[in-house]
Amino acid sequence: MGIQLGIVGYGGMGGFHHRNASKIEGVQVVGAYDIDPVRVQVAEESGLRGFSSLEDLLACEDINTVLVAVPNDCHMEICIAASNAGKHVICEKPAALNVDELDQMIAAAGRNGKLFTVHQNRRWDKDFRIVKDILDSGELGKVYSIQSRLHGSGGVMFGWRGEKKHGGGMLYDWGVHFIDQLMWMLGYDNFRSVFCKTSNVKTTEVEDYFFLVFDLEDGSHVQVEIGTFVLKELPRWLLLGDEATAYVNDFSRSGGIIRLDSTVETKSEIIMTSAGPTRTFAPRPDNVKLESELPDVEADWSEYYKNVRDAIDGKAELIVQPWQVRKVLKTIEAAFRSAETGELVSLKN
Ligand code: NAD
C-alpha cells in the first residue's frame, strides 16, 4: 500500500516534502491544497494535482495520507478533518500550540483507526546522531553537562513565525526540535524540572531568544540555548564529562573530543591575570591535550518517510510516537510557565 500523499500547505516546507518524499520507494505524492491559489498553481506546475479546497483533497480516494505543512495555529483543525476523512496524518512540528489541542488531534486519529505522527526530522541530524553515539559509548566518563545550542546572527523571525497568533517564537520553531532530540535520547522520564528565560531581542510579539536548563534524575543537567542575534557563535554542542570534553561546531561532523594525555606529567602553575593570580584557571600546555575526531555516524533523514510507510503497512512501529510528541509539548508549556513566573517548574506531573 505505502503512502499516497496529499500535502496541505504548499509553502516552503510543503514543497520540500514534495521533492524529498517523491524519492522514496513506496511513497507517491498525489496532490496539494493551499489556501493561496498561487501556491496551488505552483504545485500543479511541479507536477502535482492541485486541489481548490481542503474538502476536495480529503475526498480524494487516491490519497491515504495527509501531510499538514501550514502555519502552526492551523494544524489542529486540518489534522482532525483529515483523520475524520479516514486519512493517516503526518503533521509538521510543533504539532499543536498546547497539549489540549494535541489531545484532540490524537483522539481523532484514534477514533478513526488512523495513524498520527509528527515530522520530527531533526532526530536524524548528523550532529545529533554523533552526540548520541558519543554519549552511548561512555567515552567522556560521567557526563555532568550537555549543552545544545544554536546561535545565528540574522536577528529576524520571518513572516508568521514572528506573530503570536500563528504560534510563532523560537520555542515552537526550533525549541521543539532540540527538546525532542534530548528527551528521545536521554529518556522522557529522566527530565525532572525546567527553568527558562526568554527574550525579545529584535521581535515584539514572540521570543527570539531563549535559554533553558533541565535537571535530570541522574543528577546531570542539560542546557538549551537558541539565539537569533548572536554575533559570536558558540559550538552547536558541548558535552562535559569527567574524563573528556566533546564539541560539535555545527550541523556537520566538525568538532572533536579532547582528553588529557596520561603519559605527560603536568605541573600546576600559578599564572597572573591583570588583577590577580590563579592556579585553577592556568591554561594547560597544548601537549597535554589529545584531540580525536568525532565518530563518523550515518544519519539518513529519509528514514522518517520509510518508517511512516512501513508503519502504515503494519511492518514497523512508528519512530515518532504521539505520546512522545505530547511529552515534548508539555515540556514546552512548562518552559513558558517558568519564563512567565521566574520559577523552576516540575516536569513530574
Ligand atoms: P510557509 O509560510 O512557507 O508555508 C505555509 C503555507 O501554508 C503557505 O503557502 C500558506 O499559504 C499555506 N496556508 C496557510 N494557512 C493555510 C490553511 N488554513 N490551509 C491551507 N494552506 C494554508 O511556512 P513553512 O515554512 O512551510 O512552515 C509550515 C509548517 O512547517 C510549520 O508548522 C513549520 O513549523 C513547519 N516547518 C518544519 C520544518 C522542519 O524542519 N520540520 C522546517 C520548516 C517549517
Tell me, what's the pLDDT at 302? 93
Percent of the chain with pLDDT over 90: 95
Any ligand 1 atom below 6 A from CB of 39: yes
Tell me, what's the pLDDT at 107? 98
Ligand 1 pocket, mutate which of 16, 34, 124, 179 (most atoms under 8 A from CB) = 34
In this structure, the dihedral spanned by the alpha carbons of residues 180, 183, 185 and 189, taken in order and rounded to 10 degrees, is -160
Alpha helices in 207-313 (DSSP H): 303-312
Any ligand 1 atom below 6 A from CB of 82: no
- In the chain, CATH 3.40.50.720 sits at 3-119
At the topology level of CATH, where does 3-119 sit?
A: Rossmann fold (3.40.50)
349 Cβ contact list (under 8 Å, min separation 6): none
At the topology level of CATH, where does 123-254+330-346 sit?
A: Dihydrodipicolinate Reductase; domain 2 (3.30.360)
Strands in 13-160 per DSSP E: 27-33, 49-51, 65-68, 88-91, 116-118, 143-151
In whole angstroms, give the CA distance from residue 264 to residue 99: 55
Q: How far apart are the CA of 12 and the centre of ligand 1, in A?
A: 7
Tell me, what's the pLDDT at 212? 98
Q: What is the DSSP string of 100-128?
A: HHHHHHHHHHHHTT--EEE--GGGG-HHH
Any ligand 1 atom below 6 A from CB of 126: no
90-132 pLDDT, tens digit per residue, is: 999 999 999 999 999 999 999 999 999 999 999 999 999 999 9
Q: How far apart are the CA of 167 and the centre of ligand 1, in A?
A: 11
The pLDDT confidence band at residue 1, using thresholds 50, 70 and 90, is: confident
The mean pLDDT value for 126-151 works out to: 98
Tell me, what's the pLDDT at 159? 94
In whole angstroms, give the CA distance from residue 243 to residue 328: 31
Question: Phi first, then psi: what are they for 297, rounded to 5°?
Answer: -115, 135
187-238 pLDDT, tens digit per residue, is: 999 999 999 999 999 999 999 999 999 999 989 999 999 999 999 999 999 9
- In the chain, CATH 3.30.360.10 sits at 123-254+330-346
292-321 pLDDT, tens digit per residue, is: 999 999 999 999 999 999 999 999 999 999
